[in-house]
Amino acid sequence: MTAAQIEFYWDSASPYTYLAATQIEALAARYGASVVWKPFLLGKAFEATGNRAPATIPAKGKYLFQDLRLWAQHYGVPFRFPSVFPVASLGSLRVACTLADADIGRWALAVMQAYWTEDRDIGQPDVLKAVAATLGWDGEALLAQAQTPAAKDRLKANTAEAVERGVFGAPTFFVGKTMFWGNDRFELMEEVLSGRLAA
């Protein structure tokens, strides 16, 4: 039997994606599964599916603040709502598309920690370079690569693939063909990974 894979469609602009990103590797490890981090453009998935960002409904937006705070407490991770919101996540996602698969998760987490805990505007190239530096990477070179057609095309392909598979929000996970939307589905995903629930 091959080890399970968890495919993780992430966009650094999404607060619940940050929360999920802080938990997913430990979750996967509990089931001997691996995580495939897939950067995608959530805004394009909203456009393609007709879905809307939760904060576009004022009552939902208000609820989000309390809900995010409780989840962060629950996971024991820092969280601070950024002053620049929504943020231009495109650059951070294109950088991810230049990385080897094994490095994408580290980048995703570092970028989302900068934005969702340190209030740094990840839409600014200098911020992305500084985040790269904390990982010991050459930010200047990465940002240059992020402008190549290869990086842009990979992000477009990931986004098209996500929409094709039914993704309409973030974070979204797949275990085989079974889709899970939201960090609030970890409970169900774990039961599928353990075989307690039939996918």
Catalytic residues: 14
User: CB of 1: closest distance to a second copy in angstroms?
Assistant: 22
User: CB of 194: closest distance to a second copy in angstroms?
Assistant: 12
Tell me the residue ranges of DSSP E strands in the chain: 5-10, 34-39, 172-175, 178-181
**Would you say 129 or 185 has its CB closer to a second copy?**
185
**Would you say 69 or 140 has its CB closer to a second copy?**
69
**Would you say 100 or 198 has its CB closer to a second copy?**
198
The residue ranges that bind a second copy (CB under 8 A) are 49-51, 57-60, 62-63, 66-67, 70-71, 73-74, 163, 166-169, 178-179, 181-182, 184-185, 187-188, 191-192, 197-199
Provide the token pair at 88: 């231009």
User: CB of 50: closest distance to a second copy in angstroms?
Assistant: 5
Q: What is the number of other CB atoms lying within 10 angstroms of the CB of residue 146? A: 23
Provide the token pair at 33: 């599964």
* Omega of the bond leading into 78 within 30 degrees of 0 (cis): no
User: CB of 51: closest distance to a second copy in angstroms?
Assistant: 5
> Kind and range of the H or E element at 157?
helix 149-164
**Would you say 102 or 177 has its CB closer to a second copy?**
177
- Tell me how far CA of residue 133 lies from CA of 25, 81, 84, in angstroms: 22, 24, 22
Torsion (CA) 21, 25, 30, 32 in degrees, nearest 10 = 140
Structure letter (DSSP) for residue 54: G
Only one residue has tokens 């231009």, namely 88
